[in-house]
Copies of this chain bind each other. A is one copy, B any other.
Amino acid sequence: MTRFKATIAYDGTDFSGFQEQPGLRTVQSEIEKVLRRLNSDQELKLQMAGRTDSGVHAYGQVIHFDLEDSRSTERIRFALDTQTPADISIWKLEKVGENFHSRFTAHEKIYEYLLDNSFSRSPFKRRGQAWFRYPLDLELMQEAIKKIEGQHDFEGFTATGGTVEDKVRMISQASVEKIDETSFKFTFRGNGFLYKQVRNMVGTLIKIGNKKMPVEQIDQILRTGNRQLAGPTAHPEGLYLKEVIYHDESK
């Protein structure tokens, strides 16, 4: 058996998220259908670096699985890429050591959030960007997002009902920029993210950019952990798992 690491992309629009759910179309079940064929019709389970919710996209999601190494790596990649549906792409496949684990050995993740800020929603951005039609002040959002960098308890930015006890995480980089005439890109790099954390942070930053919340409220949310102080959860269609970073020794 050989362990394979695959770097994959998917348009999350028509999936009920990444993780397998009975009766629903998910990224995991579509890939495992093809893995089964490559595994002499025996079930083959994959592990992913991070679940993504319904409607959320990825262009650097990482998965791993163990398979008999009887074909060339490129042949397996090509089979996976072309036999999965058009909204999934398997663009990289590598052999890794048996200690590699897509989730447990991941060091950091990078998420991006794209927001269409035009007054008339673009038909070309509607699947891959969320939409907010009211004015946004870039400088206010930049000031606010810098307060998110560093090690904090992110309780105030997570959804209630999570099972994780320790909500302290390190965000090593957080930034927002304009990427064209009408769209903004938010980027967050960190060692772990809580359930709906990125979308809650973006929803809060949008309120600040729209001048419906003072910049300083970020400090208060981080200090008190009070979810009521934060903005609404931003829509899923703007969110991308961009990259999963591993230490070299984990390969």
A→B interface (CB under 8 Å): 9-11, 57, 59, 81, 86-91, 118-124, 126-128
- Closest residue of chain B to A84 (Cβ to Cβ) is B123
Give the residues in chain B near A57, CB-CB below 8 Å: 123-124
Cβ-defined contact, A11 with B124, below 8 A: yes
- Closest residue of chain B to A131 (Cβ to Cβ) is B86
Majority DSSP secondary structure for residues of A touching B: loop
The docked-state distance in angstroms from the alpha carbon of A127 to that of B125 is 11
- Least CB distance from A52 to B in Å reads 13
Cβ-defined contact, A89 with B122, below 8 A: yes
- Closest residue of chain B to A119 (Cβ to Cβ) is B91
Contact flag A81-B10 (CB < 8 Å), given A86-B126, A126-B86: no
Cβ-defined contact, A122 with B9, below 8 A: yes
Q: Which among B91, B123, B127 is the interface contact of A89 at CB below 8 angstroms? A: B123
Cβ-defined contact, A59 with B11, below 8 A: no
Q: Counting chain B CB atoms within 10 Å of each CB, which of A59, A86, A90, A123 scores highest?
A: A123
Cβ-defined contact, B87 with A126, below 8 A: yes
The docked-state distance in angstroms from the alpha carbon of A59 to that of B86 is 24
Give the residues in chain B near A118, CB-CB below 8 Å: 91
Give the residues in chain B near A120, CB-CB below 8 Å: 81, 89-91
**Which 7 A/B pairs are nearest by Cβ-Cβ distance?**
A11-B123, A91-B120, A87-B123, A89-B120, A81-B120, A89-B123, A9-B123
- Least CB distance from A96 to B in Å reads 19
The docked-state distance in angstroms from the alpha carbon of A10 to that of B122 is 8
Cβ-defined contact, B9 with A86, below 8 A: no
The docked-state distance in angstroms from the alpha carbon of A55 to that of B95 is 40
Give the residues in chain B near A11, CB-CB below 8 Å: 123-124, 126
The docked-state distance in angstroms from the alpha carbon of A119 to that of B87 is 15
The docked-state distance in angstroms from the alpha carbon of A30 to that of B122 is 17
Cβ-defined contact, B81 with A123, below 8 A: no
Give the residues in chain B near A121, CB-CB below 8 Å: 86, 89
The docked-state distance in angstroms from the alpha carbon of A106 to that of B99 is 65
- Least CB distance from A88 to B in Å reads 6
